[in-house]
Every structure is written in C-alpha cells, then in structure tokens.
Amino acid sequence: MTIRPRKHFGQHWLKSEIVLEQIVDAARIEKNDRILEIGPGTGILTKRLLECSEGVTAVEIDRDLCERLARSLGKKSNFLLLQGDFLTLDLEQCLEKFPAFRPLNKVVANIPYNITSPILEKLLGSIVQPQRTTYESIVLLIQKEVAGRLCAIPSTKAYGALSIRIQYLAAVEWICDVSSRAFSPPPEVDSAVVRLTPRTYPKPLPNPKKLNTLIDLGFASRRKMLRNNLKSQVDPEKLSQILEQLNINPLSRAEDLSLDQWIDLCHQITE
Ligand code: SAH
C-alpha cells in the first residue's frame, strides 16, 4: 500500500537502495549501537537499522504513519516507536521507562528539510549552550545547499554563521550527493548525506555569548571588512591591532576567518 505524502511534514520517501546503503555505511553501525531515528516515515531506513543494531528509537509526528509502522515493525523487540514532535519531545524522560534503549549513541535519519536547523540545535545545542551529548555520530540526509553550508571552509560563498556555529559543536563530513530522483515524490531541491561528530571543543570560551554576537555582526554585511562590522564591539583601530597580533590581515572580512581564528578573536576581545 502506498501512503500519500503530507507536504507540511516534509514527507519524501527514500526509494533508492544505493542511497540507503550509503547512509547505513556512513553510520558505521555496530551490533551494540542504540540508534535514534527522526522521522521514520514508512520505515525503509528503520528496517535496515533494526537488522544491524541493538535498538532503534524512532520519533514520528504523523499518527497515521505511526499506526502503519506499529503494524509492520511493532513486533520487533529492538524497536521503540515514539509518536510526537521531535522538537518538543522530552526524549530523556520518554526513555526512562525503556532502559534497554539507552543510552542512544548514534543518530541516523532522513529528516524533514524545513526543520533542519532546529533539529541540529536540539541534537547539538548552541555555542552558548552546547548539548551534553551521548551521540558519537549523527548521519543525516539533508538539503544539499544546507549540507554545503555545514561543511564550508573559509573564503567560500557557502561559509557563514551557520558553518561556524555547527563546526564549533561538531566535525562535519560530506558523505555523498543524493539526486532528487532518489525520493518519491522528488523534493524540489537536491540532497546530500553528511556525518557530524560532536566534539567537546578543546578551547572553552571565556564568553560564549560574545562569540555569537561577533559572528552575527561579522556576517551581517558580508562584503564589509570586520573592522567596520564589529565597530559596536571594539574600536576599529584596536581591532586592526588585535588582528595583526593574531597574524590575520586587518582588512579581512568575516568569511576569511577560520573557526579557530574566530575563537582567538573572541578571547582577545573579551580579555
Ligand atoms: N525517513 C523516511 C521519511 C523521510 S520524510 C524515509 O527516508 O523515507 C520526513 C519524515 O519526518 C516524515 O515521516 C515526517 O512525517 C516526519 N516528521 C516531520 N516533522 C517531524 C517532527 N517534528 N518530528 C518527528 N517527525 C517528523
């Protein structure tokens, strides 16, 4: 039976076996893994994950799909299905009653593209409040353009505030491109698989809010030099001196600074 996809839930069913294998390979699943899947949909990925892991906890918002999943996969003892909105669900609390599924150590999902940023924030936290996570890796199928921004390196068009925010919290790797033909119905945009490895950043920040503000202001007008964009935070002459001390061209724009350079700058401005 085919199930009619609901646009507002970002439903596009993956149909390519090749992409499925690429996702599963990227997650490097081991027998004792306890996996979180967001948006199992009709269960194509779920089924594969259940075959090779200790447990799969899947969170699906659509009640009709949940009923269908319960019928098709409900008998499997290593499957836990939670009906609800992943963004508001208290996962820790839900799992209290199911110790066999804890702790979750990997995330593998083909997520709804319209809520990619909030999903990332829920999984990783933010610069100001990094999430204490048990996830060793997070493999996601997302919109290609967003994947490009997550992986971007300095001085490229895709490199921006999102790149820095996410790269501060996790190492990001591009796994593969995915054509819109791999889905039914095909989304209007191309897709890609990425792997995020959460990190405890080695250099704790003296003032995480400051880094957030600097990045926001720095990228507010991309074409302007940092010394102009950061005027409200630091005197332009002083900033030029700081940049020189850090071996950074004082005429740099926000997009020219690497994550480590942003962190160094934040240290200098806060001191
Ligand atoms: N993983 C499936 C479906 C991907 S489509 C596949 O690869 O075929 C995205 C899925 O996320 C849909 O099943 C949709 O109902 C679900 N979804 C959308 N918003 C959600 C939310 N806030 N919380 C949990 N699931 C959600």
Fold equal for 7-198 and 208-270? no
CATH number for the region 208-270 comes to 1.10.8.100
Does 3.40.50.150 match the CATH number of domain 7-198? yes
What pLDDT, on the 0 to 100 scale, is given for residue 216? 96
Least confident of 49-63, 67-81, 194-208: 194-208
Q: Where are the domains of the chain?
A: 7-198, 208-270
What is the CA(210)–ligand 1 centre distance, in A? 35
What is the CA(61)–ligand 1 centre distance, in A? 7
What pLDDT, on the 0 to 100 scale, is given for residue 6? 85
191 in ligand 1 pocket by Cβ < 6 Å?
no
Q: What number is the average pLDDT over the span 81-93? A: 97
Report the nearest-CA residue for atom 18 of ligand 1: 9
What is the CA(163)–ligand 1 centre distance, in A? 24
Ligand 1 atom at shortest distance from the alpha carbon of 15: 8
Ligand 1 atom at shortest distance from the alpha carbon of 111: 9
- Measured distance CA(237)–CA(220) in Å, rounded: 20
Can you count the helices (H) and strands (E) in the chain? 11, 9
Q: What is the greatest pairwise CA distance in the chain?
A: 68
pLDDT digits (tens, 9 = 90+) for 26-41: 999 999 999 999 999 9
pLDDT digits (tens, 9 = 90+) for 179-190: 999 999 999 999
What pLDDT, on the 0 to 100 scale, is given for residue 202? 55
pLDDT above 90 for 2: no
Q: What number is the average pLDDT over the span 202-208? A: 78
Percent of the chain residues past pLDDT 70, beyond the cut = 98
Which amino acid type is present at position 120? L
Average per-residue pLDDT for the chain: 95
Identify the band that residue 223 occupies on the pLDDT scale cut at 50, 70 and 90.
very high
Identify the band that residue 201 occupies on the pLDDT scale cut at 50, 70 and 90.
low
- Measured distance CA(104)–CA(47) in Å, rounded: 18
- Measured distance CA(262)–CA(144) in Å, rounded: 26
What is the CA(62)–ligand 1 centre distance, in A? 8
47: alpha, beta or left? (left if phi > 0; alpha if psi -120 to 50): alpha
91 in ligand 1 pocket by Cβ < 6 Å?
no
The separation between CA 91 and the C-alpha centre of its own chain, rounded to angstroms, equals 17
The separation between CA 132 and the C-alpha centre of its own chain, rounded to angstroms, equals 15
Identify the band that residue 1 occupies on the pLDDT scale cut at 50, 70 and 90.
low
116 in ligand 1 pocket by Cβ < 6 Å?
no
Report the nearest-CA residue for atom 21 of ligand 1: 85
- Measured distance CA(204)–CA(249) in Å, rounded: 25
pLDDT digits (tens, 9 = 90+) for 109-149: 999 999 999 999 999 999 999 988 889 999 999 999 999 99
Between 201 and 175, name the one with better pLDDT: 175
Between 42 and 5, name the one with better pLDDT: 42
Phi, psi torsion values for 99, nearest 5 degrees: -60, -25
What is the CA(179)–ligand 1 centre distance, in A? 18
Report the nearest-CA residue for atom 16 of ligand 1: 39
Ligand 1 atom at shortest distance from the alpha carbon of 40: 1
Which residue shows structure tokens 């971007």? 152
